[in-house]
Amino acid sequence: MISVLMRSHNDIKYIRRTVEALLAQEVDDAVEIISCDDRSDDGTAEYLAAVPELRRIAPPEGKYVPGKTLNHMIRQAYGDIIVFNNSDAIPQHREYLKNLTSPLKDPGVDCVFGNQIARKDAYYVVRKDYERAFGDGSISAAWDNFFSLVSSAFRKSDLLAKPFDENIQYSEDADWVKRYSAKIVYAADAIVEHSHNYTLKEVRKRFFNEGVADTQMGKVPPGFCHCMRSVIAEILRDWFYLAKHGAVTEFFYAPVYRYVQKMNYYRGTKR
């Protein structure tokens, strides 16, 4: 059996399409979908309660911590294969689950992550990042421990033996694959639509906390000069991409976005 674990919090904009796509999957194994909603107040909880095919479980008590919720859901799953699918990550075809879980037939594979394409309303700088991180997988293959839990698959036995860290607030997926030296496979043919147009304030918070998490994982923090070179290199890539796609409206936004992103990651590593 495949247990699809779906976390949610105020995702009413996308969750209907996500659930409908998951229920329409064509896969040989039995499938259960477990929903754990984190106190939504936008109609998400009411929608989930109205879908009889879902198995709903209450979140752990206290403040939301990703690892704590993930481990809580894993323990209650019936399947021997665990799929994590964010409630705002919409499968794009009926073979999604089959393609995502197939690599686990190889006993040498520890985990799989799927392909994410940006939404149609995504900023161009966001689209560029998703194409580099996912796409055919050739670019991110060279990145250290790159992995995304948004659309991913594991064996339940591995997750029970090697639980997620419950003491970090960000990057629990990268921490898992690094801590256990996991053999990762990228399933480019398992596609979900997923992206965020974060405000600059949200970008600042997210990347600061990712810097904090990377330091907690033992990554060597970048120096200031390395950070500035990274800012400049990414801006140049952004401008090339924007020019290629005729997205002149973001030409001046891109440098601001990159500076906020990279500098706050740097500051997080120095915390």
pLDDT tens, position by position, 152-197: 999 999 999 999 999 888 889 999 999 999 999 999 999 999 999 9
The span from the CA of 245 to the CA of 69, in Å, is 40
The predicted pLDDT at position 239 comes to 97
* 29 DSSP 8-state letter: S
What mean pLDDT is predicted for residues 260-265?
96
pLDDT band at 217 (very low <50, low <70, confident <90, very high): confident
The predicted pLDDT at position 247 comes to 95
pLDDT per residue as tens digits for the range 69-101 = 999 999 999 999 999 999 999 999 999 999 999
The predicted pLDDT at position 169 comes to 87
The span from the CA of 182 to the CA of 238, in Å, is 32
Instruction: Kindly write down the DSSP assignment for every residue of 4-55, as one continuous string.
Output: EEEEESS-HHHHHHHHHHHHT---SS-EEEEEEE----SSHHHHHHT-TTEE
pLDDT at 117 over 90: yes
pLDDT per residue as tens digits for the range 9-35 = 999 999 999 999 999 999 999 999 999
**pLDDT, the chain, mean:** 95
The predicted pLDDT at position 219 comes to 83
Query: Are residues 111 and 152 in contact, defined by beta-carbon separation less than 8 angstroms?
Result: yes
Query: Are residues 216 and 168 in contact, defined by beta-carbon separation less than 8 angstroms?
Result: yes
pLDDT at 221 over 90: no
Query: Are residues 21 and 86 in contact, defined by beta-carbon separation less than 8 angstroms?
Result: no
pLDDT at 222 over 90: no
The predicted pLDDT at position 218 comes to 81
